[in-house]
Structure 1
């Protein structure tokens, strides 16, 4: 039996938290020249979860059109600025966990047959296919920091 995107997304959260708890690699050191640190990578993921939960999910309805995604470069810069507000990694972990769990729970409340599009796109999503897109995004970044 294949895992649902919901299961994968929750499991990815645990992996990101493990990264934050791994003391063998400094969290604030860039992963490569001109790249983010491990903390910034995880913060970037958190900030996208926050966007999905606050902006996208509340607008999901049958045949709905969700807003287009923001400019990625600008939004990512905003994410890095935003995570600077956290005083420590434990505080951040708590917020990230809470946000992702809320996001998953809100998506699970939506009928799986509900179809919607994003912005000008023609592709129709349901909650599973929508979340799969972000599971791939998670995996891309997990590959960078593991």
Structure 2
């Protein structure tokens, strides 16, 4: 297995297990903003499934065709919609959605042939490898996970 593919799959599997630990939070903790005028833990976790779905439906299927990638959604609109939905859902529903989409992503990534991980793809004006593309998602996850963990530490 390609080293970067293995690293990504491990990250996503670990993120699923980490998200499940959030079930231990009280509803008050779950709905606590990470800082003044920032998202709550619910909103942070709630925005991941929409982006995972985007990657599953509008990126991975197009990577190895010679078709142009579909346009990315407006980031603010997608995040605002995800935030709104996560406020209307229970903690269990938000975490279940996160876990379900991550599992679908794990399967899709696992199905990408190892030799394709170093192949160049075009995302807008940027040329990068599949490895580089997904590395950006790991960084995005870790950025948010760090904020959630910092809040969890202060809540103890």
Task: Pick the TM interval, shorter chain.
Answer: 0.7 to 0.9
What SS class does the counterpart of residue 59 from structure 2 fall into?
helix
Q: Deviations over 1:108-139 (max 9, x none)?
A: 11223333221222x2222x332221111000
For residues 86-105 of structure 1, what are the alpha-carbon distances to aligned partners after superposition, in whole Å with 9 as ceiling and x for unaligned? Answer: 3x222222222111111111
For these two proteins, the number of residue pairs brought into alignment is 143
Alignment of 1:52-63 (within 5 A): 52-61=55-64
Q: 1:21-100 alignment to 2 at 5 Å?
A: 21-23=24-26, 26-61=29-64, 65-86=68-89, 88-100=90-102
Please report how far the alpha carbon of residue 144 of structure 1 lies from its aligned counterpart in structure 2 after TM superposition: 0.7
Cα pair distance change 1:70/1:17, threshold 3 Å:
same
- State the 4+ residue runs in structure 1 displaced beyond 6 angstroms: none
Q: Which structure 1 residue ranges, 5 or more long, are not aligned?
A: none
Q: CA RMSD in A?
A: 2.4
Between Structure 1 and Structure 2, which shows a larger proportion of helix residues? 2
* Residues 67 and 118, structure 1, Cα contact 8 Å, conserved in 2: no
